[in-house]
Amino acid sequence: MGKSLAYFTRQIYSAFQNIQEVNCKPFLTSEVEPVSSLEEFTMATKTLTHYWNGSAHTGSGTPIDRLSPSTGELITKIPDATPADVDAVVAAARNAFDKGPWRHMSGMERAKFINALADEIEANIDELAIYEAQETGKPLSLARSDVGGSANLFRYAASHAMQMHGDVHTNLGKGFTGLVTRVPVGVTALITPWNFPLLLLAQKLPFALAAGCTAILKPSELTSTSTVMVAEMAKKVGIPDGVVNVILGYGNTAGQKLIEHEDVDFISFTGSTRTGRAVIEASKLHLKRTSMELGGKSANIVFADAVIDDAIDGVMFGVLFNNGECCVSGSRLLVEEKIADEFVAKLAKRMSEVQVGDPLAGGSQIGPMIHSGHLDAVLGHITKATSQGAVIATGGVQVKSGDLSKGYFVAPTVVDKVTEKHDIFHDEVFGPVLAVTRFNGKEEAIRIANATKYGLAASVWSKNIDTALDMASELHAGTVWINTTIDGSPQLPGGGVKESGFGREMGQAGFDEFTEVKTIQIRTGARNRYFG
C-alpha cells in the first residue's frame, strides 16, 4: 500500500535531526539513523509540468519517464517540450522583462522577494531533499545540505540586488558628465545538469533575479522536480508572473530550441564540455552572451610535508563527494613519490570501508550512478585503465549485493600507477574513481597537474607556505584550495579556465554576469557644434 509524501517526510524527519547543517562533509560524517525500510512505503510517481506566466502547462510533448537510479522504479514523469512550448515560455519571460514591473522595482524590493524565496526553500527542506536524493542518487544528508546551501545563495544574491550601482564621472571637463550604469542583461536561459539540480540552480537564478532579469529554467530531464518546485515557490512569495519560468525536456529538444531562440539574451550553462560547445555554436546565431561551467579533471596534490591524515580525508572527500559526480571532483591524486606507497595503501583501505548504499537509507555515504548508461561508462573507464597498464588498489567493480543489484552502484575505486599516457589521466569519469600519479618535487607536480585540457580546480596539501602559494600561482585552475578541498562560500566565485569554461558563478563576479554595462553621457550648457 503506497504512503504519502507527508508520511514519508515525518518518518525520516527525526533522522535529520543530528545532521550538521550545511557542512560540506556530510557524507563522511553523517550521523543519520537508518530510515524505516523503504519497502514500508512507495512514493507516488510525480508528474511534472512546464511552468510559465505563473501557471502550470502540460504541453503536448511526449512524456519522459525518470526511473530511480537506486531501484529502477518509475519516480517522475515529465513532458518533453515541443517548439511551441519553448516559444510560449520565451514569450512569457520576454514579456515580463520588457513590460513587467520586475526590472523597474528598487533593489530593496527585489531583495525582499529573493529572501522570501530563500525562506520558502528552507521551509521545504525535507521535501526538496527527498526528491533531490531520489532523483540524483545522492545521500539524503548531502541533499539536505544542498538545500540549506541553496537558501544561503539566495540570501547572498539578495544583497547584490540592494548594492547594484554604477559610477559617476564628474572630472571629464566642464559641462560633461558620464554615468556608467549596470542594467539587467535581459531574458536569461539557465540550463542546469543532473548532479546538483537545486544547488547549481541557486548559483544562477537568484543572481539573475537580483540583477532584474527574467529567467527560463531548463533542468536536466533526469532531475527536474526541485526546479519546478522553486518556480511554484516564486509564485507563492509573490514574484510577478513570467519572471521565473520552467521548460522541461531533453537537451536536443527543449534545450536546443531554447538556446537558438532570438528572444533569449543570455545563456548560463552548466554541463558537459561537449554540450557547452553546442551551446556556444547556437549562441553565434544571434550573438548571445554565454557563461560556461563545464567538465574537469581536478587534482589533489599531496606533498610529503602535508598532514597525511587530513590529506587522506580530503582526497577521499574530493573524489567521493556527490558519488564522484561533481564538476570539481578531485578525480586525480598527485602524490609525492617518497610517501606514495604508504599513502595509497592507507587511502585504499579507507576507501574500501566507505558505505555504498541507497541514498534514502541512513548511513549511506555514496549512492548510485545517475543512470545505467553512466554506470557502464564509469566501469568502461576503469577497464580501459587496467588494459593500459594501471593497477586497481581498491574497488573497480559494480556493487551488486542484495537490493543494490537493482541500481547502478560503483565501489569506491583507486586506480594506481597512472601516467599521462593513460586515458584515465585525461578523461572526466564522473564517478567514485581516483587516478593516482606520482611526482618528484614542485616543478614536476606543476607540470603534471597542468597536463590536461581542463582547468576547473585543484587542491594543494602542504604545510610549507612557499610550496602552497607557488603551486596556487602556477596551477591552471579557476579555484585552488590549500589544505582543504571542495570548500566554498557564496561570496567566492567559481568557474573554469581552458576547456572547463569561462564566466564565473557566485560572488560579485557571478552577479556581474547577469548585468550589462550601459554608459550614459550628458552634455550640459552650450555644445561645441561640429558643423557650426
Number of helical (H) and strand (E) elements in the chain, helices listed first:
18, 21
Residue 275 found at the interface with ligand TXE (CB under 6 A): yes
Nearer to ligand TXE, 139 or 362 (CB): 139
* Residue of closest CB approach to ligand TXE: 251
Residue 272 found at the interface with ligand TXE (CB under 6 A): yes
Phi and psi (nearest 5°) for 301?
-110, 115
Residue 428 found at the interface with ligand TXE (CB under 6 A): yes
List 270, 291, 394, 459, residue binding ligand TXE (CB under 6 A): 270
List 137, 271, 318, 490, residue binding ligand TXE (CB under 6 A): 271
Residue 193 found at the interface with ligand TXE (CB under 6 A): yes
Interacting stretch for ligand TXE, rule CB under 6 A, among 121-129, 233-241, 273-281, 303-311? 273-281
- In the block, cell 586515458 appears at 423
Write the DSSP assignment of 388-421 as a string of letters.
TT-EEEE--SB--SGGGGGS--B--EEEES--TT
Smallest separation (angstroms) from ligand TXE to the CB of 430: 4
Smallest separation (angstroms) from ligand TXE to the CB of 252: 5
Pairing of the two strands 50-52 and 457-461: unpaired
Interacting stretch for ligand TXE, rule CB under 6 A, among 147-155, 177-185, 190-198, 339-347? 190-198
Nearer to ligand TXE, 293 or 416 (CB): 293
Interacting stretch for ligand TXE, rule CB under 6 A, among 84-92, 138-146, 212-220, 390-398? 212-220
Smallest separation (angstroms) from ligand TXE to the CB of 217: 10
Residue 256 found at the interface with ligand TXE (CB under 6 A): yes
- How far apart are alpha carbons 61 and 49 in whole angstroms? 11
Q: Given CA atoms 351, 353, 358, 363 in this order, what sign does their dihedral have?
A: negative
Strands of 457-461's sheet in order across:
391-394, 413-416, 433-439, 332-336, 299-302, 457-461, 479-482
Interacting stretch for ligand TXE, rule CB under 6 A, among 130-138, 218-226, 297-305, 479-487? 218-226
Nearest to 79 by CA among 67, 65, 61: 61
**Distant-in-sequence, close-in-space partners of 9: CB < 8 Å, separation ≥ 6:** 126, 127, 130
**Distant-in-sequence, close-in-space partners of 503: CB < 8 Å, separation ≥ 6:** 268, 290, 291, 292, 293, 495, 513
Interacting stretch for ligand TXE, rule CB under 6 A, among 23-31, 205-213, 248-256, 361-369? 248-256
Nearest to 316 by CA among 361, 362, 349: 349
Q: Would you say 189 and 265 are in contact if contact means Cβ atoms under 8 Å apart?
A: no
Residue 220 found at the interface with ligand TXE (CB under 6 A): yes
Q: Which of 120, 132, 135, 293 is catalytic?
A: 293
Residue 426: count other Cβ atoms within 10 Å of its Cβ: 15
Q: Would you say 514 and 498 are in contact if contact means Cβ atoms under 8 Å apart?
A: no
H or E element at residue 435: strand 433-439
Smallest separation (angstroms) from ligand TXE to the CB of 291: 12
Smallest separation (angstroms) from ligand TXE to the CB of 453: 13
DSSP lists the bridge partners of residue 179 as 168, 520
Write the DSSP assignment of 221-271 as a string of letters.
TTS-HHHHHHHHHHHHTTPPTTSEEE--S-IIIIIHHHHH-TT--EEEEES
List 259, 334, 356, 418, residue binding ligand TXE (CB under 6 A): 259
Interacting stretch for ligand TXE, rule CB under 6 A, among 87-95, 144-152, 265-273, 457-465? 265-273
Nearer to ligand TXE, 485 or 515 (CB): 485
Q: Phi-psi bin for 94: left (phi > 0), alpha (psi -120 to 50), beta?
A: alpha
Query: Which parts of 293-322 interact with ligand TXE (CB under 6 A)?
Result: 293-295
Q: Clarify whether 326 is annotated catalytic.
A: yes
Smallest separation (angstroms) from ligand TXE to the CB of 101: 30
- Which three cell numbers, joined as nine digits, stand for 7? 508520511
Q: Clarify whether 325 is annotated catalytic.
A: no
Q: Which of 135, 326, 499, 513 is catalytic?
A: 326
Q: Site for ligand TXE (CB under 6 A): how many residues? A: 28
Question: Per-residue x/- marks for ligand TXE, 363-402, CB under 6 A?
Answer: -----------x----------------------------
- How far apart are alpha carbons 199 and 147 in whole angstroms? 7
Interacting stretch for ligand TXE, rule CB under 6 A, among 31-39, 272-280, 382-390, 405-413? 272-280
Nearer to ligand TXE, 193 or 362 (CB): 193
Pairing of the two strands 413-416 and 391-394: antiparallel
List 96, 327, 458, 475, residue binding ligand TXE (CB under 6 A): 327
Pairing of the two strands 332-336 and 433-439: parallel
Smallest separation (angstroms) from ligand TXE to the CB of 463: 31
Residue 241: count other Cβ atoms within 10 Å of its Cβ: 16
Q: Would you say 365 and 356 are in contact if contact means Cβ atoms under 8 Å apart?
A: yes
Pairing of the two strands 457-461 and 479-482: parallel
Residue 139 found at the interface with ligand TXE (CB under 6 A): no
Length of the chain: 532
Nearer to ligand TXE, 155 or 257 (CB): 257
- Interface residue list for ligand TXE (CB under 6 A): 191-195, 218-221, 250-252, 255-256, 259, 270-272, 275, 278-279, 293-295, 327, 374, 428, 430
The catalytic site residues sit at: 293, 326
